[in-house]
Amino acid sequence: MITIPSEKTPSLSKRMRLFSLLNPIHIVRSLYKNRELIWNLTKREVKSTYQSSFLGVLWPVIVPLVMLLIYTFVFSVVFQAKWSTSAGPETPQGEFALILFAGLTAFNFFSSVITRAPGLILAVPNYVKKVVFPLEILPVVVVGAAFITSLINIVLILIGCLLVLHSLPMTALLLPLAYIPLILITLGLAWFLSSLGVFVRDIGQAIPVIVQILFFMTPIFYSADSVPNALRFLVILNPLSSIIDSFRRVLIWNEFIDWRAWGTVSVVSVFVAILGFAWFSATRKAFSDIM
């Protein structure tokens, strides 16, 4: 009996492979399997940035502290800036620097990873060609290092709340929820860009420009309510706007997260993470040929 191959078999195989790549279980399984390696590389990533300097590990504390002091002086003393919204009165002058710093903490987390992502695979050709190495953890390591650095900023913000507002927000306990969409969307884009950077080298030059444009399109130095109605859709479509708002709510204003906006951006960030990992997994076999 002769079996005639079905013409639909290749198509079915492709669909099954696509479904496998989009399965979030593969992400969890990979991260769990390599958890010790991720932790060790993350610690090395943080230490290597400052270990050759004289002050060493004090730099991650000194730099954001100095920046917070500068923001406080420039915006609160020199410009006497106040954060005004349509929903309520202007905030005290000293609070503006904290609001600004909270927004920068979230954005710098995102930008520090995204600007490095296109060169992550290119920087380790030996891992690609000679060593059996889980390349998908490299973006995870960079995200982990950025997360540790951002926690230092969070501590400084809480100290600032004690000094300026004379209280600590109880809603700071919700900060892990504010981090979830930020981590997922950053990680998803890092997986995508680290793979794309292997094939399109110019992307490494374009990303810093795009990040700079995104910086001014994100309500960091200004309130989302101050954006004209005709351009308000740009703020709504920018997931970083909702993420930064969540940081400010729980760290400074002692308010609950806007759960509707948080739910929307969380769903989007989950899809971005899954698609980014799927793209990375689908293209990684070609890395050695290109490099």
- Are residues 261 and 242 in contact, defined by beta-carbon separation less than 8 angstroms? yes
Name the 3-class secondary structure at 55: coil
Task: Specify the DSSP element, H or E, that contains 235.
Answer: helix 232-237
Mean pLDDT by runs of 10 across the 291 residues of the chain is 47 58 79 92 82 59 72 67 57 75 92 94 85 89 93 89 87 95 97 94 91 90 84 88 95 93 95 94 86 70
Alpha-carbon span 222 to 219, nearest angstrom: 5
pLDDT value of residue 4:
43
Alpha-carbon span 139 to 116, nearest angstrom: 9
The phi, psi pair for 80, rounded to 5°, reads: 50, 45
pLDDT value of residue 210:
94
pLDDT value of residue 174:
95
pLDDT value of residue 1:
45
pLDDT value of residue 216:
87
pLDDT value of residue 52:
57
pLDDT value of residue 54:
53
What single-letter DSSP state applies at residue 2?
P
pLDDT value of residue 137:
94
- Token pair listed for 204: 């490494």
Burial class (CB in 10 A: 0-12, 13-18, 19+), 38: buried
pLDDT value of residue 13:
59
Q: pTM for this structure?
A: 0.85
pLDDT value of residue 2:
45
